[in-house]
Structure 1
Amino acid sequence: MSQIFSPSFGLYAKLAVFGVLLVAVSACLAWRSVTTDPHRLDEPVNQPVPFSHKHHVEDDGLDCRFCHASVENSAFAGMPPMSTCMTCHSQLFTDAAMLKPVRDSWKSGVPLHWNRVYQLPDFVYFNHSIHIAKGVGCVSCHGRVDEMPLTQRVVSLSMQWCLDCHRNPQKFLRPREKVFDLAWQPKDQQRLGAELVRAYRIDTGRMTDCSLCHR
């Protein structure tokens, strides 16, 4: 009987299987590198200007919306234009070396490139405005930024982390007028949260539907 496969066929077959496995592993590693946030928890993120939320919010009393003007009506919170910064810094600390990038940006019209503190993968849809409208406070995701000299991540924003909130929204909801009050604490979160779930007409049966975040 003649031999159907050559003696070297087994070697080629093994190399082909190894190649497929190598491609699969490489694809998984590449996917992880794209979807994983590069910054560690509780690690300040370097910025072109060492902006201090603690100084601007706690010391000067600025509201979140002064800089993040679109947070209530847009998917994105928004970043302040240099005209917002220069509202104060055309009069204060006008010669400070650390603010030179701000002054240069103002003069040239070229926006500063701020480094993202949180980065969601492209296949995740997130809308700031709906969370604000439903009483989710800034502090739930961003932590006490009013106490941060330099901004850092405090939560992972992993799928499991998001699902923990979507499955039990009553644990996190607050009155809308307290959404931007980072220091506010409820007396009875469970009771208040249950009332707000009804008041905000949150359909808890759909909160874990895939289509909410993956569109």
Structure 2
Amino acid sequence: MAQIFSRAADTWFRVAMLVIVGGLIGVFIVAMLLERSDYQTGRGWTVDQPVPFSHQHHAGALQIDCRYCHAGVERSARAGFPPTHTCMSCHSQLWTQAEMLAPVRRSLEEDRPLRWNRVIKLPDYVYFQHDVHVQSGVGCVSCHGQVDTMPLLHKAEPLSMSFCLECHRDPAPRLQPRETVADMAWHTDEDRRHLGERLMREYRVDPAGLTSCSVCHR
């Protein structure tokens, strides 16, 4: 019987299969790395704003409390953006003719709110409440990083599902007294786990139900 395939056919077939399988594995690995990359999560990226607001200056140098501008953070799901009159409570007297503040003055004159652009935007299928976290003792710095050192605000953490679940599974080491949540420099000499476990009892934080899908997806 005549030989249809050459003796090298088997070898070439095996090489081709290895290349195909290796390529598929490579594509999968690249996709996984891309999904976790700062490019995809937005971590470390700044966003253009109508006014180049510096948290380093306001929250850091001037020590303005987060809640002065983000007034809803303790009592509603959204932290809220500061209305123009909040900005003008200072800037009607300070830097009144500064060019970079022209959009703020125009906003007041025209009675039209500034359109701030979100730096952190969770997917539509994720349900998040600021007030629940604040009332449970989760500090601003836990998710937003040291905003008092940021000339332009950027996303400090990926805020991925794994990031959130890590805290939901074991919240104790990440909790602090409610009255300190906006303190960027808060520190305690008490063991964080012991403190956190005490606060969990005091604030009625039960991790048993925090990993249920319905907590974040409703």
- TM-score, normalised relative to structure 1: 0.80
The alignment covers a number of residue pairs equal to 183
Equivalent residue runs for 1:113-192 within 5 Å: 113-187=115-189, 188-192=191-195
The alpha carbon displacement at 1:122 in A equals 0.9
The alpha carbon displacement at 1:194 in A equals 1.4
Equivalent residue number for residue 207 of structure 2: 204
Give the conservation status (yes or no) of the 8 Å contact 1:37–1:118: no
Give the conservation status (yes or no) of the 8 Å contact 2:126–2:217: yes
Equivalent residue number for residue 77 of structure 1: 79
The alpha carbon displacement at 1:186 in A equals 2.6
Q: CA RMSD in A?
A: 2.0
Large movers: runs of 4+ above 2 Å: 36-40
The alpha carbon displacement at 1:40 in A equals 2.6
Q: Deviations over 1:9-47 (max 9, x none)?
A: xxxxxxxxxxxxxxxxxxxxxxxx9xx997732222221
Equivalent residue number for residue 69 of structure 2: 67
Residue identity in the other structure for 1:124: V
The alpha carbon displacement at 1:171 in A equals 1.7
Rounded Cα–Cα distance in structure 2 between residues aligned with 1:211 and 1:98: 44
Equivalent residue number for residue 91 of structure 2: 89
Equivalent residue number for residue 104 of structure 1: 106
Give the conservation status (yes or no) of the 8 Å contact 1:37–1:119: no
Task: Choose 66-75 or 36-45, whichever is displaced more.
Answer: 36-45
Give the conservation status (yes or no) of the 8 Å contact 1:64–1:180: yes
- Corresponding residue SS for 2:93: coil
Residue identity in the other structure for 1:193: G
- TM-score, normalised relative to structure 2: 0.79
* Structure 2 stretches lacking a partner, 5+ long: 1-34
Equivalent residue number for residue 49 of structure 1: 51
Task: Choose 41-50 or 164-173, whichever is displaced more.
Answer: 41-50
* Structure 1 stretches lacking a partner, 5+ long: 1-32
Q: Deviations over 1:41-73 (max 9, x none)?
A: 222222110000111112222111110111100
Rounded Cα–Cα distance in structure 1 between residues aligned with 2:122 and 2:138: 18
Q: Deviations over 1:159-194 (max 9, x none)?
A: 111000000101210011111111112322111111
Give the conservation status (yes or no) of the 8 Å contact 1:76–1:128: yes
Q: Calculate percent identity across the aligned residue pairs.
A: 55
Rounded Cα–Cα distance in structure 2 between residues aligned with 1:172 and 1:94: 41
Residue identity in the other structure for 2:215: L
